[in-house]
Structure 1
Amino acid sequence: MNFSIAAPWMPAWALSPRPIALAIGLLCAANAQAQAESQEATLADAGALSPMLVTAGRSGSGVWRGAASVDVVDGETLRDGQAQVNLSESLGRVPGLVIRNRQNYAQDLQISVRGYGARATFGVRGVRLFVDGIPASAPDGSGQAANFPLGSADRVEVVRGPMAALYGASSGGALLLYTEDGQQPAQWRTGVVAGSDGLWRASTQATGQTGTPQAPGWSYAVDVSGFATDGTRPQSAADRSTVNMKLSRPHEGGRTVLVFNLHSSSALDPQGLSRAELDANPDQTNAAALSFNTRKTVAQTQLGLAFEQALGNGHKLELMGYGGQRQVVQYQSITTGAQMPPGSSGGVIDLDRDYWGWNARWRHEGDWQGGRLSLSAGVASDLQSDKRKGYENFIGSTWGVQGKLRRDEVNRAQTLDPYLQAEWRTQDLTLMGGVRQTRTQYESLDSYIVGANRDDSGSKNYHATLPVLGVRWQLNPSLQAFASIGKGYEIPTLNEVAYRSGGVSGFNTALNAARSTSAELGLRGRADKLRWSATAFDIRTDDEIVVQNNTGGRTTFQNAGRTLRQGLELAGEWRTGPVTLTSAYTWMRANYQDAFMTCTTTGCPSPSPQVQVPAGHRIPGLPMQQLFAQAAWDTGWAGSRVMLETIHTGRVMVNDLNTDSASAYTLFNLALQFKQERGDWTLREFVRLDNLTDRKHAGSVIVNDGNGRFFEPGPGRKLLLGLEAQRKF
């Protein structure tokens, strides 16, 4: 199979022999994407639970006729043969997505999409997260994926490219999880997993529907799960419990949906290792983490309500509102000396967050000019109010305990985003366009004004208009091309504006948002046994947000000029008899286009010396190459399936100065699954062996770590066993 992709904005490297050779080989393998018509038919319109209309569930048509880069991983793939603890277990099959388990449950997953979000040292930045339409990202763009209920997931949609900007500011990509709806007959499912390092996970799901098929009542889906692990290193034990519930009821012309989520977790923090520590013993933990007993606890409660109503003649009204409360207490390893200056916020974070939001949308669908026209317009607003306190992490000579108060403030972020989207579709052509005006207000009210510690209150407003355009051409029934272009806008988080340069406390009003122009051009095809896609992208950013200084437990940020991200994504799926081959490959070059100055000592920019980051340096945290390949064989014996996975990750720079890097590595995983149908019962068992060759590697990096502890070791050879029982009633 031969094909080519070319556009005026594409660099010469995209057509070089190496990527094309890889493309030809990879198109014979695959990624379980939603291009298949059989999968499209199973995707229901999420309605008011969809934060925008770019999702694969739109009108049941899936992504085959869409003008955006959207991949869908269904719930069965997310769960089969997996621990069902982290999104990273199954989303490696999505090209353009870097998602890694840090083996540190105090800092959450490391997620970036086409380079967006790579700078995050904890949590998620630059990528929007949603669960059943409710943001798992705060208005300032920070987020966490720990409360994603994988046990009851119907599907996860991964939106990449220009269209992701329709989800608002800091939407370099979007991950949307939708939980399953209760249906008749009722089902009960329970499972347990156990593995190396004391890992266990137990969960129970119940789904069903009251009433009769002719007169359905409430649909319900309940998911309760618990998880714990001793961790792969000292000081890395963690536990987590989650309750997720969804109730829905149809009414004439619409439906009402209620969602509830309860999440609590506690985790020790092993932190990273220096180069010398990694080389000497990757299984160790730095002495500072042990001395200060670094750890984090989280408790979150959330409630959401969605309502949709048909108005007649193709018009529909959709309303969604949510609210929640989140508490976080985290002990850091900041040295006692670094907490002495008047502006220090201490080494203990105590955060009490209230958050809420709403989304109101009008939609219309109808025939127009020989095609199907879809229009939508709406307004979305989100608000977070953080009561943030900081304490010293010592009392006298005792470390790792809550000491004197050093910070007391209220931080607020609020968005108000009107948006408009239109799509016109025929069998052979799709035209899609949208615009979102994003407005974000930050405010900080300081209540800790003691001695030389001055009033650090401040405010900052960000606003931008983000237009996007996309088109899809069906070249023949089995081949189509698509292209899109749009503006992006990434605001700094409240944490990133918390400190000014020069080691001075107070709101950093000089820090601006990063603005980007993103374009993509792709091909996708399907045949009897093959599904494939190939997409080239180009992202040009101005005022990239980077670290200015990270010392003494305090990180300050600055704008660094232009960056360029260019890449090629390849994916597909090939089925032949009992064998399925799946793979995804990403080649990306991400560089700073302008030189900028950075600091490595306290007090930046003066009187401390600054160091220049030259133009052309690689953006840290991003591999140039990434490959996922899986071969699955349904043996026909006792419902068994054998799976072999190969995961390759290229070299990753650890800081802007490119002084060190995590080496490339290749891992092999082997899994054996069984499935038996016995009347109303379905039994599933699996055994999984990850990292077969026990390869020593740095699974992720802490970008620009001020202590030089950049490396988070990946796990060695690990065993996982699972058993699940399901019954229909």
Structure 2
Amino acid sequence: MSLPLRYYTPVLLLFLFLMPQVLQAQELFTGYVLDAASEQPLEGVTVTASTGEQGISNGSGYFSLATAAAPKRIVFSYLGYKTEAVANPPAGRELRVLLAPDAASLQEVVITGYETNRPLLQTAGAVSLIEREVIERFDESSIVRAVNTVPGVRMEERAPASYRLSIRGSTLRSPYGVRNVKVYYNGIPFTEANGTTALNLLDAANIGRVEVLKGPTASIYGAGTGGTVLLEPRRPLPGEKALEVGTTVGSYGFRRYTATAGVGAEKSSLLVQYTRQRYDGYRAQSAIDRDVLLLSSEFRPSEKRTVSANLLYSNLYYELPGGLTLEQYEQDPRQARGGQFGSEAQNASLDLEGVNVGLKQEYRFNERFRNTTALYGLHKFKDNPFNTDYERNTSQEFGGRTSFAYDAQLGSVGATFTAGGEFQRGFEAARTYDNNAGTPGGLRTDDEVIAKAGFVFAQAEFELPAGFIATAALSLNDTRYDITRLQQASSGDYKYKKDFEAVLSPRVALLKQLSDQVTVHASVSSGFSPPTEEEILTSDGQLNEGLEAEKGTNYEAGVRGFMLADKLSFDVVGFYFRLKETIVSRQDVSSVAVFRNVGSTDQKGVETSIGYTLLDEPAQPLSLLKVWGSYTYSHFRFDEYQQGETDLSGNELTGVAPHAATAGLDLSTRFGAYLNLTANYVDDIPLNDANTVYADSHVVAGARLGLKRQLGNSLGLEVFGGVDNLTDEKYSLGNDLNAFGGRYFQPAPARNYYGGIRLKYAL
């Protein structure tokens, strides 16, 4: 269904107002100096002309150099980076200079997690980064394969665009969707007040970088015992003015089209991006049709103030093939669930349309005191015929987040104090009907749901002598649901309120810098995760009134750093997580997910990642050769679990593989050719709480080969091709846990191919 024009008009006017004014080129030697790996601006680069003049790049990487005569070359030098020289530089046209970092400079990768804005090497916590180049290793049909390169994280697709995200086993309560994990986009809440996250409204091309914070982070990010995911939007580079188009086609009717326009200046940027994706599907009843429009703007009207705004419009339709039994899976993995209430017969699918608007301001009162405030609103429609019912929902939500930070000097101890809060309010009109072969029949239930979630937080960080950094944080969290049943065929109307008890969630962390290359860290944190609206109000119209919030405490310690002349990077974390009032899901005879608190779980694990750069010489024919890998060991058990007369205590945690590993190889040449190889191993996975059914272990490999070339001064070309599931492995990517009737398996595609082209024109 289409949204009325009135929803778009004020937002489009806002973005027109924010549209940056492009700086006019000067009759000087001007341009921008960027990090060749991250393409972020570099401040303080020394710019020297062969005629003797010298300048320095500013915070945006911009430089301006006037010379008395035309220089034969301009040299760019910066500590930690390889010196670059531009021969016979053209006057009157902005230069774009990329400096290749030495391996040691990777220590300075800054993360935004925990709002400390520190280098990863100085961050006390299990944090993993997914950079843009990792997402582009694959066909960008989704971010599943990119996320699965990270240790401790597992992402699945029960059907194309039907995502499920697990951080340290958190899919135990997620038969579908993303739960128990808090997601932000550009620092603005993307997870809704009711605890659900429509991650499939985003396209992989909308994401510039991903930070994954593992374990409870409620001390600063609110409810969630699984972890927090911070997504950064795509933005044009400073000095960039370009148009980009691309297309990818592949097996099983895969088609994907992208168009991007970006303008970046010293104090402003604007990006407009449209993506369209179509896929006929590997299985019957598994097609997808998605359109996404992103407008991302940022500008700095003063040295103290930075304002950014995002508009995301998505129109998504995908089909649901349903789970198969083992016999069906072995017989024909491409079939959909059959029978009287089969997926094709009932047109099991989901039609989702939404607009998400966010506005964020960062304001620096002085050198010590600053504030970041974000506001957002969303409007969403959902039309969901399922095998046994038909749901039609519409929801509206608004919310905001603010934090104040103050830098202080307490004698010889540097300190940063942060305090703030977050509030979300959502309203949903939810109706369920009989499903008559894909059309709504008789009304079953008519509900109005108001969800409110909020918390306040405070954090103190101290830079102590002897290379110690200590952090203490605390938050007070509250969640409430007000459900009004306007009509129910069997029992009539009623009202129900659930106000979860406010919970204090602390976090204490300590980091010790052993050297410039190695740090160790340890932390203790607790968190809570209330049930989502979908867990309380199930699709069969029943209220799950007795469901309580999960609460857990996490202990972890780790070491990260660099060795062997900084060519080797490593990150190792061990943790112990104790979760109480654990929520698990199982299906009833009508395939409706039923949720229960079942005691506690005991989760111990080790997460490791490693990378080794064998060669990094941009001037050589073979310019880059790097190998990397990650490994996760999960010893997850039900500690106390009684199911009827059966004691399941000590069983393996459902849906979690004891061992998982990913390995990759990256190769690039000076002439623009590149090769990416990736392989992912997953151990046997228990599919029910009784541990009587397992998904087989599997190895899935993929490759991508491409060529990037600059054709003249303005046109860039990339041609690429790839293969997924190179060995034609038969496996299930999105298993239905505790499925009724043994319908556990959601088969993944067999060997499949893709190829594409991108053109980028610099204005």
TM class by shorter chain equals 0.7 to 0.9
2:638 counterpart of 1:583: no
Cα distance in structure 1, aligned partners of 2:102 and 2:552:
28
Distance in 2 of aligned mates of 1:262 and 1:352:
15
Match of 2:701 among 668, 677, 687: 668
- 1:25 — aligned with what? none
C-alpha distance in 1 between matches for 2:362 and 2:538: 43
**Cα deviation 1:117-139 (Å, max 9, x = unaligned):** 33311111111112112222112
Are 1:625 and 2:659 counterparts? yes
CA deviation after TM superposition for structure 1 residue 367, in Å: 3.5
- Residue 490 of structure 1: aligned partner: 529
Match of 1:77 in 2: 134
- Counterpart in the other structure of 1:390: 432
Q: Pick from 195, 207, 214 the counterpart of residue 262 of structure 2.
A: 207
Query: What is the alpha-carbon root mean square deviation over aligned residues?
Result: 2.2
C-alpha contact (below 8 Å) 2:337/2:343 kept by paired residues:
yes
Within 5 Å, which residues of 2 pair with 1:553-564? 553-564=591-602
Q: 1:411 to 1:76 in 2, by over 3 A?
A: same
Question: Is residue 476 of structure 2 the alignment partner of residue 434 of structure 1?
Answer: no
Corresponding residue number in structure 2 for 1:116: 170
* Counterpart code for 1:151: A
CA 1:643–1:180: 2 relative to 1, 3 Å? closer
Helix, strand or coil at the partner of 1:441: strand
Secondary structure of 1:277's partner? helix
Question: What amino acid does structure 1 have at the position aligned with 2:240?
Answer: P
Q: Return the alpha-carbon distance in structure 1 between the equivalents of residues 135 and 107 of structure 2.
A: 17
CA distance in 2, matches of 1:208, 1:179: 15
Over residues 229-281 of structure 1, what are the superposed CA-to-partner deviations in whole Å (9 max), with x where a residue is unaligned?
00111110111010111122212311122211100111111011111101112
Map of 1:350 onto structure 2: 392
Residue type of the alignment partner of 1:62: P
Match for residue 525 of structure 1?
Answer: 561
1:649 aligned onto 2:682: yes
Q: Which residue of 2 aligns with 1:98?
A: 154
Cα deviation code 1:287-319 (max 9, x no counterpart)? 111111111100000111112222225111222
How far apart are residue 228 of structure 1 and its match? Answer: 0.7
Q: 1:420, 1:231 → 2: CA distance?
A: 48
Query: Hey, what's the Cα distance between the residues in 2 that align with 1:83 and 1:369?
Result: 53
User: What's 1:236 paired with?
Assistant: 286
- In structure 2, C-alpha distance between the alignment counterparts of 1:647 and 1:318, rounded to whole Å: 39
Picking from 50, 54, 59, the partner of 2:114 is 54
The question of 1:330 aligning with 2:387 is answered no
TM-superposed deviation, 1:456: 4.5
User: Could you tell me how far apart the structure 2 residues matched to 1:36 and 1:579 are?
Assistant: 13
**Matches of 2:282 and 2:356 in 1, distance apart?**
31
SS in structure 2 opposite 1:276?
helix
Paired position in structure 2 for 1:614: 648
Give the 3-state SS of the residue equivalent to 2:523 in structure 1: strand
Q: Structure 1's 229 and 316: CA in aligned 2 closer, same or farther, altered over 3 A?
A: same
Check whether the contact 1:161–1:519 (CA below 8 A) recurs between aligned residues: no
8 A contact 2:109–2:120 mirrored in 1: no
- Cα shift readout 1:370-400 (whole Å, capped 9, x = no counterpart): 3432211111001111100011102xxxx22
Written as runs of structure 1 = structure 2, the 5 A alignment for 1:10-21 is none
**Residue 75 of structure 1: CA displacement?**
1.6
- Counterpart of 1:50 in structure 2 is none
Partner residue in 2 for 1:571: 609
Is this contact kept in 2: 1:128–1:173, CA < 8 A? yes
Match of 1:720 among 754, 757, 761: 754
- Describe how 1:353-372 pairs up with structure 2 within 5 A: 353-372=395-414
Q: Matches of 1:727 and 1:158 in 2, distance apart?
A: 33
Query: Tell me, which stretches of 5 or more residues in structure 2 are unaligned?
Result: 1-100, 616-623
Aligned residue for 1:473, secondary structure, equals strand
Q: 2:316 aligns with which of 247, 265, 282?
A: 265
Match of 2:422 in 1: 380
Check whether the contact 1:132–1:178 (CA below 8 A) recurs between aligned residues: yes
Instruction: Give the Cα–Cα distance (whole angstroms) in 2 for the partners of residues 499 and 331 of structure 1.
Output: 15
Following superposition, the deviation at residue 690 of structure 1 comes to: 1.2
Q: Structure 2 vs 1, CA of residues 204 and 562 (structure 1 numbering), >3 Å: closer, same or farther?
A: same
Corresponding position: 1:177 with 2:211:
no
Aligned partner of residue 181 in structure 1, secondary structure:
coil
Deviation at 1:86, TM superposition (A): 1.2
User: Aligned AA for 1:89?
Assistant: R
Distance 2:109 2:567 in 1: 19
Aligned position for 1:593: 639
2:181 is aligned with what amino acid?
A: V
**Aligned CA distance change for structure 1 residues 481 and 518 (closer, same or farther; 3 Å):** same
> What is residue 337 of structure 1 aligned with on the other side?
none
Aligned partner of residue 358 in structure 1, secondary structure: strand
1:277-316 pair list within 5 angstroms = 277-287=328-338, 288-316=342-370
The alignment's TM-score, normalised by the length of structure 1, stands at: 0.85
Secondary structure of the residue that 1:619 maps to in structure 2? coil
Question: Greater CA radius of gyration, 1 or 2?
Answer: 2
2:238 is aligned with 1:192: no
Q: Unpaired runs of 5+ in structure 1?
A: 1-33, 47-52, 335-346, 598-609
Residue 105 of structure 2: aligned partner: 38
* Deviation at residue 471 of structure 1 after TM alignment: 0.9
1:445-464 deviation digits (Å, cap 9, x = unpaired): 000044x4233431111221
State the match for 1:320 in structure 2.
Answer: 374
User: 1:63/1:204 Cα in 2 relative to 1: closer, same or farther (>3 Å)?
Assistant: same
1:472 to 511, 516, 525: 511
Aligned counterpart in structure 2 of residue 509 of structure 1, from 545, 550, 558: 545
For the structure 1 residues 123 and 381, does the alpha-carbon distance in structure 2 shift closer, same or farther, using more than 3 Å as the test?
same
1:560 Cα deviation (Å)?
0.6
How far is 1:39 from its partner?
4.8
8 Å contact kept, 1:36–1:64: no
Distance 1:131 1:36 in 2: 30
Are 2:298 and 1:256 aligned? no
Task: Please identify, of 418-427 and 587-596, the stretch whose mean Cα deviation from structure 2 is larger.
Answer: 418-427
How far off is 1:356 after superposition? 0.9
Q: In structure 1, give the amino acid aligned to 2:518.
A: L
2:497 corresponds to which of 433, 441, 459: 459
Q: What percent identity do the matched residue pairs reach? A: 22
Taking the aligned partners of 1:386 and 1:694, their CA distance within structure 2 comes to 43
How many Å separate the matches in 2 of 1:310 and 1:689? 48
Q: Give the stretch that moved more between structures: 518-527 or 137-146.
A: 137-146
Q: Is the 8 A contact 1:651 1:664 kept in 2?
A: yes
Distance of aligned partners of 1:122 and 1:243 in 2 relative to their CA distance in 1, 3 Å threshold:
same
* Shift in alpha-carbon separation, 1:36–1:363, aligned structure 2, 3 A: farther
Q: Tell whether the 8 Å contact from 1:689 to 1:718 is kept in structure 2 after alignment.
A: yes
Higher RCO structure (Cα 8 Å, ≥6 apart): 1
Helix, strand or coil for the counterpart of 2:727? coil
Whichever residue aligns with residue 128 of structure 1, its letter is K
